[in-house]
Amino acid sequence: MKLGPQGHLEGARFVESPNFDARPEGVEISLLVVHSISLPPGQFGGPAIEQLFTNCLEPAEHPYFREICALRVSAHFLVRRDGALLQFVPVAARAWHAGASRWRGRERCNDFSVGVELEGTEGAPFAPAQYETLAALASALRRALPLRDFAAHSDVARGRKTDPGSGFDWSMFLARLAR
């Protein structure tokens, strides 16, 4: 994997989200935030995550979608259960993934982070293919950016978010990253 000059990752399927804006001038991208998502909750493999991130979620498709269809959110990347990688926002831009957040005394994590969603739920294990893709992605980003830290969404939005949850094995991810 290699990050191109426009902030697109070679090998990722690009699905453009409108939910991004410019990062503040001179900000160094130093953090990767790991999230988890499944739509409808607990279901995998459908088009709903892409639809949410592209503002095309149909509220009539599922009762939960009525609650979230007006959200304007995104992430830079999504790693599907089978390890497939999608990109929604160029890395140079600010994706709207962390919300109100703080990391090591710095507010507004979206300003200085890359957001990666893993298709999954907070209590269930993630698939081995997801760890492989996430590690390859993180390695590619580290080669191109001054990425120093990895954090859970729950770490940067304490008390507000709980993902990726206990199903995410940090030691497995870090071991794969070290290869």
CATH number of the domain at 159, please: 3.40.80.10
Residue 179 has pLDDT above 90, yes or no: no
Q: What is the pLDDT of residue 22?
A: 98
Residue 6 counted as domain residue: no
The radius of gyration computed from the CA coordinates of the chain, to the nearest angstrom, equals 15
Please indicate, yes or no, if residue 173 is contained in any of the structural domains. Answer: yes
Q: Is the pLDDT of residue 77 over 90?
A: yes
Flag whether 1 is in a domain. no
Give domain status of residue 3, yes or no: no
Whole-model pTM above 0.95?
yes
Mean pLDDT of the chain: 96
- pLDDT above 90 for 124: yes
Number of domains the chain is built from: 1
* Two tokens, residue 19: 């939910």
Q: What is the mean pLDDT of residues 92-111?
A: 97
- Each residue's pLDDT tens digit, 143-162: 999 999 999 999 999 999 99
Residue with tokens 């969404």: 153
Q: Is the pLDDT of residue 131 over 90?
A: yes
Return the pLDDT at 5: 85
- Give a yes or no: residue 5 inside a domain: no
Label residue 38 by pLDDT band (50, 70, 90). very high
Query: How confident is the model at residue 12, as a pLDDT?
Result: 97
Residue numbers annotated as active site: 117
Whether 149 and 177 have beta carbons less than 8 Å apart is answered as no
* DSSP code at position 59: G
Per the listing, tokens 């995998």 go with 44
Q: Is residue 7 part of a domain?
A: no
The domain of 98 spans 13-178
Share of the chain above pLDDT 90, in %: 97
* DSSP state, residue 40: S
The answer to whether residue 174 sits within a structural domain is yes
- Quote the percentage of the chain above a pLDDT of 70: 100
Instruction: Indicate the pLDDT class of residue 6, thresholds 50, 70 and 90.
Output: confident
> Does 40 map to a domain?
yes
Is 127's pLDDT higher than 90?
A: yes
- E strands, 2-158, in order: 13-14, 20-22, 31-37, 77-79, 85-87, 93-95, 102-103, 106-107, 113-119, 149-152
Band the pLDDT of 78: cuts 50, 70, 90. very high
Beta-sheet pairing, 77-79 with 113-119: parallel
